[in-house]
């Protein structure tokens, strides 16, 4: 007996539906766009992505150029505040030189004036983070001091600074120049 897809009145089960073709339907043109339309849509999407990519690259390049320009400007004008604070010192030095050239210049007055200008200069530089390193009598610190020689001393303990040959400086905690010092080697050895 041949079995058919139709049910006879004596069959208890309904007929099995035909297996569905994946992606296929009764009207293939209505459900999926034509390949030409898909290709055109993909090209439009690719063009939009490419345009966004080009804009991002241009924005990044503009940002890089602006950052370089701002760094250069900052580097050029960073010392502006310091120089503004030093201009009065230069003015006072010029006044001191003019006073020294006068025929009746008083040496004591000139020394006092130069001392005041030095104080003014140190004050201006301290205001910008400069700190003197003058370790006379302190323990030698190789991170802050440069030993130029050793000298025997009965008064200054071994390893301490006897004389500061050249003052050192740090800027906001960073060493600019170590202090050049003479270090005690302790009491002289008895021969």
Give the residue carrying structure tokens 């270090």: 183
Res 1: pLDDT: 47
Q: Which of 32-36, 118-122, 130-134, 169-173 has the lowest mean pLDDT?
A: 32-36
Res 11: pLDDT: 52
Whether the per-residue pLDDT at 25 is higher than 60: the answer is no
């Amino acid at each position: 007996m041949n079995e058919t897809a139709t049910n006879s009145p004596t069959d208890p089960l309904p007929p099995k539906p035909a297996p569905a073709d994946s992606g296929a339907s009764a009207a293939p043109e209505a459900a999926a766009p034509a390949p030409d339309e898909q290709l055109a849509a993909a090209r439009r999407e690719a063009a939009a992505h490419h345009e966004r990519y080009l804009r991002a690259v241009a924005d990044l390049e503009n940002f890089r150029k602006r950052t370089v320009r701002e760094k250069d400007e900052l580097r050029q004008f960073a010392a502006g505040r310091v120089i503004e604070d030093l201009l009065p010192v230069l003015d006072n030095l010029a006044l001191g030189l003019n006073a020294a050239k006068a025929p009746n210049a008083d040496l004591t007055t000139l020394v006092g004036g130069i001392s005041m200008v030095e104080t003014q200069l140190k004050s201006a530089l301290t205001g910008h983070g400069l700190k003197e390193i003058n370790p006379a009598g302190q323990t030698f610190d190789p991170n802050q001091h440069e030993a130029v020689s050793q000298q025997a001393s009965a008064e200054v303990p071994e390893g301490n600074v006897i004389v500061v040959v050249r003052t050192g400086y740090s800027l906001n905690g960073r060493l600019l120049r170590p202090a050049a010092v003479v270090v005690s080697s302790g009491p002289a050895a008895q021969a």
